[in-house]
């Protein structure tokens, strides 16, 4: 129906609609018509959720920004109200068409909750094609899309992702247009009504995206975060034997094109590519604490100040220490974080090199990478430091190279066995779990097969892409009778190091 990004829920609903539409060519059964009604109800629920969220966005902006910064917030509020008006106008037209469907369909059947003539295949075509309402709706959809996008700053217009758009198919037998595909000959009335509900959902999602982008213009910074780096910040750089070693590991982002004001103890740091470098004094032995301050200028001229947590480092007499978070093991194919320190030397003066792989980093934080060809062998890391203009060799340590272990396939926290029908119907994801592995890395299931065997019936096989059951498999797993058997096999996982191993099979019996 339209281009743009969609949520997983929306994609599933669209896929179910296409499957049902294809089945219409064979038979318009009550089962298929009920399925369209269910999709329509699901879309209505989704609309309600988006509407509530959007109302909260408007309310929050009105009660905070519009009150606190009326001069700057009022123009944005006015633009957001225009977006709401455009969306409401299109939605009003759709509601009018739904009323025509309802009248022509002889009202609502209280037993089904759907139109009395829900299986009629002429009403939609007569209203939308013969009376040109579909052509008008298509024009209104595309006009609304253009108006909404025009409300945005030019730099933001290329980044819209909503799916409100009505395009004629690129390849269509007989030159069928958008309105023919969605409302033409052979389309039951309930299916056409579901399409209108889908368009209403698209309208609301488009309004929500535009409004959030408009309100987001109020507090932009002059920074564009284009450089990302994994960082480990320890609670201390000197640990007494027997005491725990703790560190925070997280992802940082910076603007390589800006040079914010960064100071430590009131002294400005040299900033390059958005990053300031601080070098602490190491002329005497002891414990030293410092804290950094960063000042960032906003687009409106306001300056915001951010402070780091206090950081402590220890200066001690010379000796070398090389420590791996994972003992004396390096895993091939993934980055291995290392902390290298030498008491008596500043972290900035320490250098490291290795044989059998590559090492990068500075200031005591290094990342080691070793290729798969070194599995089962040893590599060496050598440490040196600069002192009084000279480079001193502080020692060499050896590490064993191992492969990342294959994960274990699990469903609903199990590897097989007895499972309740309710749990089987409720759960949807097959996981690849790296149990008891030292690194916080993830493996992801990319495909698997599901075989369902009901008592005294032939087996049904479903081929699923990704780590979730597809719609057909999910439907088959609903309401399975007692003693049904479910096989999940041919499970393929994507490993962080690029491998795609086949994982263990799982067999479940419904109790």
140 pLDDT tier (thresholds 50, 70, 90): very high
Q: What is the pLDDT of residues 433-483, one digit of tens each?
A: 998 888 888 899 999 999 999 999 999 999 999 999 999 999 999 989 999
Of 215-224, 332-341, 456-465, 468-477, which range is least confident?
Answer: 215-224
Of 21-25, 174-178, 232-236, which range is least confident?
Answer: 21-25
| Domain residue spans of the chain | 8-215, 227-311, 321-402, 408-510
173 pLDDT tier (thresholds 50, 70, 90): low
Rounded Cα distance between 396 and 359, Å, is: 14
Rounded Cα distance between 60 and 57, Å, is: 5
Residue 365, strand partner residues:
339, 362
Burial of 4 per CB tally in 10 Å (0-12, 13-18, 19+): middle
Mean pLDDT of 115-120: 93
291 within 8 A of 309, measured Cβ to Cβ: yes
**How many Cβ atoms from other residues are within 10 Å of residue 322's Cβ?**
20
Q: What is the pLDDT of residues 284-331, one digit of tens each?
A: 766 688 898 988 776 555 677 888 888 877 666 565 555 555 568 999
Q: How far lies 209's CA from each of 1, 76, 137, 281, in Å?
A: 19, 14, 22, 50
Report the pLDDT value the prediction gives residue 449, as an integer from 0 to 100: 97
Question: Is domain 321-402 given the CATH code 3.40.50.1820 in the classification?
Answer: no
206 pLDDT tier (thresholds 50, 70, 90): very high
SS3 173: helix
Rounded Cα distance between 461 and 468, Å, is: 15
């Amino acid at each position: 129906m339209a281009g743009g990004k969609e949520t997983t829920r929306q994609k599933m609903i669209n896929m179910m609609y296409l499957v049902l539409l294809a089945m219409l060519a064979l038979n318009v059964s009550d089962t298929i018509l009920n399925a369209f009604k269910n999709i329509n109800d699901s879309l209505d629920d989704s609309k309600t959720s988006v509407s509530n969220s959007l109302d909260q966005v408007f309310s929050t902006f009105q009660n905070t920004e519009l009150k606190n910064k009326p001069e700057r917030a009022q123009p944005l509020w006015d633009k957001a109200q225009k977006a709401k008006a455009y969306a409401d106008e299109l939605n009003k037209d759709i509601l009018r068409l739904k009323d025509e469907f309802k009248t022509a369909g002889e009202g609502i059947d209280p037993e089904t909750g759907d139109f009395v003539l829900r299986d009629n295949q002429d009403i939609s075509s007569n209203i939308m094609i013969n009376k040109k309402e579909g052509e008008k709706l298509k024009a209104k959809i595309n006009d609304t899309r253009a108006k909404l996008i025009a409300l945005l700053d030019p730099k933001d217009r290329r980044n819209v992702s909503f799916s409100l758009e009505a395009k004629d198919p690129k390849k269509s037998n007989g030159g069928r247009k958008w309105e023919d595909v969605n409302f033409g000959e052979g389309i039951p009335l309930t299916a056409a009504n579901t399409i209108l509900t889908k368009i209403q959902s698209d309208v609301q999602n488009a309004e929500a995206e535009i409004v959030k982008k408009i309100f987001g213009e109020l507090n932009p910074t002059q920074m564009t975060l284009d450089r990302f780096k994994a960082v480990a910040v320890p609670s201390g750089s000197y640990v007494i034997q027997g005491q725990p070693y703790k560190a925070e590991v997280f992802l940082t982002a910076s603007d390589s094109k800006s040079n914010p004001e960064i100071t430590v103890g009131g002294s400005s740091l040299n900033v390059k590519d958005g990053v300031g470098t601080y070098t602490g004094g190491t002329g005497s032995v002891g414990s030293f604490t410092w804290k950094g301050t960063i000042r960032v200028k906003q687009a409106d001229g306001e300056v915001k100040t951010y402070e780091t947590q206090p950081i402590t480092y220890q200066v001690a007499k010379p000796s070398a220490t090389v420590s791996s978070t994972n003992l004396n093991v390096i895993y091939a194919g993934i980055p291995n974080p290392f902390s290298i320190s030498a008491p008596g030397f500043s972290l900035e003066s320490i250098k490291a090199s290795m044989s059998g792989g590559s090492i990068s980093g500075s200031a005591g934080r290094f990342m080691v990478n070793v290729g798969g060809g070194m599995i089962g062998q040893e590599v060496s890391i050598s440490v040196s430091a600069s002192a009084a203009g000279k480079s001193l060799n502080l020692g060499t340590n050896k590490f064993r190279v191992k492969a990342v272990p294959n994960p274990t396939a699990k469903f609903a926290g199990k590897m097989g066995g007895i499972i309740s029908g309710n749990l089987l119907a409720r759960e949807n994801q097959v996981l690849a779990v790296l149990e008891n592995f030292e690194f916080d890395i993830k493996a992801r299931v990319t495909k698997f097969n599901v075989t369902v065997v009901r008592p005294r019936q032939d087996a049904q096989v479903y081929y699923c892409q990704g780590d979730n059951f597809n719609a057909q498999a999910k439907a088959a797993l609903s309401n399975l009778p007692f003693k049904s058997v479910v096989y999940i096999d041919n499970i393929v996982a994507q490993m962080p190091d690029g491998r795609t191993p086949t994982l263990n099979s799982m067999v479940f019996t419904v109790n």
